[in-house]
Amino acid sequence: MFRTSSRLADGREILYFDEKPGRVPVPDPRELPAAEPLCEVRRDPLTGDHVTVTAHRNARTFLPPPDQCPLCPGGPASEIPDAAYDVVAFENRFPSFSSRTAAVPPTVDGEELFPRAPGLGRCEVVCFTDDHGASLAGLPVPRVRTVIEAWADRTAGLSARADVAQVFVFENRGVEIGVTLHHPHGQIYGYPFVPPRTERMLAMAAAHSGDLFADVLAAEQEAGTRVVRRGEHWTAFVPAAARWPVEVHLMPHRHVPDLAGLTAAERDELAVLYRDLLRRCDALYDAPLPYVAGWHQAPAGAGRDLVRLHLQLFSVRRAPGKIKYLAGSESGMAAWINDVPPERIAERLREVAPRLP
């Protein structure tokens, strides 16, 4: 993998991850004002949760036609000036977090109950291919491997920043999920705080008498009823308490805090198993599955010995043509109700293997 860094017209960084050497980045021909996003973080006094306010994101690009896609190479609306690329990562033009954001008063309305702070950190877009009509599941294994290298590189880079407490790598796919661009891509958030899910995992792991993630993995492997596929370094399984109609976790067999900590052998197998998992998901209902695939990693600071890297892939599709909407229990109380038994989804994901391309 060959990494090349450049700048876009408004000063944002763009990084090329190529499978062959020789990249000479094309200058960005656009006339853009300097990137000055407005991001702030407020704290909910009742729950302690952080809420990010980003008014500028309301004007972000929404489902443009293919000839105006900002992720296709070299077009008049493109964020990538070059005529072709393998994998690209760049600072999001409409970020939720940015080191360029302006300072804000320390409280809302001068009330200490409502603290606020600049939404520092960084948000990046990762384009998996320059082919607008492709998908991550349809890419060749070597390209998936390059994507993994880009994820690992950006995880290491963002984790080293003073304004980043947690790095989250994820992909949203499908209009049912709420994607605003169809081009195959994902995102990376460098949060200035540790998000609630990681805080809960840290608390549960600290209270557990042993290695929580190792014990969960061992229990799933021993039961076998929810295991989808097991390799030398990774196991894919539907968790026993799955929240979503389709939910799969992919976990390494040893404790690894983040993607940057994976060995070459682990990355090689991950490229194969992850693509296989995505193809199984698409085969479930004989149609591209709308999903969120997020890599949960250890925080950049304290707790790296408690949280093990793992993928959580989930979908809102509960049956062909039917979507699970978050109703009162889930949205209002975060009390989950799943209509689909986890064991049945694991069985179906195993069954579709012979039909994979």
Q: List the single range of 7-21, 22-36, 57-71, 316-330 with lowest mean pLDDT.
A: 57-71
Residue 357 binned pLDDT confidence (cut-offs 50, 70, 90)? low
User: Out of 50, 182, 185, 296, which one is annotated catalytic?
Assistant: 185
Determine the Cα–Cα distance for residues 333 and 264; give it in Å rounded to an integer. 42
C-beta neighbour count of 320 within 10 angstroms: 9
Residue 205 pLDDT exceeds 90: yes
**Over the chain, what HEC string results?**
CEEEEEECCCCCEEEEEECCCCCCCCCCCCCCCCCCCCCEEEECCCCCCEEEECHHHHHCCCCCCHHHCCCCCCCCCCCCCCCCCCEEEEECCCCCCECCCCCCCCEECCEEEEEEEECCCEEEEEECCCCCCCCHHHCCHHHHHHHHHHHHHHHHHHHCCCCCCEEEEEEEECCCCCCCCCCCEEEEEEECCCCHHHHHHHHHHHHCCCCHHHHHHHHHHHHCCCEEEECCCEEEECCCCCCCCEEEEEEECCCCCCHHHCCHHHHHHHHHHHHHHHHHHHHHCCCCCCEEEEEECCCCCCCCCCCCCEEEEEECEEECCEECCCCHHHHHHCCCCCCCCHHHHHHHHHHCHHHCC
Task: Using alpha carbons, select from 233, 255, 225, 239 the residue that is nearest to residue 347.
Answer: 225
Average pLDDT of every residue of the chain: 95
Architecture field, domain 2-194: 2-Layer Sandwich (3.30)
Instruction: Kindly report the CATH class assigned to 197-355.
Output: alpha beta
Catalytic status, residue 253: no
User: What is the average pLDDT across 87-99?
Assistant: 96
The ranges assigned to domains in the chain are: 2-194, 197-355
Residue 48 binned pLDDT confidence (cut-offs 50, 70, 90)? very high
User: What is the average pLDDT across 129-145?
Assistant: 97
Determine the Cα–Cα distance for residues 167 and 159; give it in Å rounded to an integer. 7
The reported pLDDT for the residue numbered 60 is 76
Residue 58 binned pLDDT confidence (cut-offs 50, 70, 90)? confident
Task: Using alpha carbons, select from 284, 256, 293 the residue that is nearest to residue 349.
Answer: 284
Quote the percentage of the chain above a pLDDT of 90: 87
Contact at 8 Å (CB) between 237 and 248?
yes
User: What is the average pLDDT across 163-176?
Assistant: 96
User: What is the average pLDDT across 267-273?
Assistant: 98
The reported pLDDT for the residue numbered 59 is 72
Residue 42 pLDDT exceeds 90: yes
Rounded to the nearest 10 degrees, what angle do helices 264-284 and 342-351 cross at? 100
The reported pLDDT for the residue numbered 354 is 65
Task: Write out pLDDT tens, residues 275-319.
Answer: 999 999 999 999 999 999 999 999 999 899 999 999 999 999 999
User: What is the average pLDDT across 206-215?
Assistant: 97
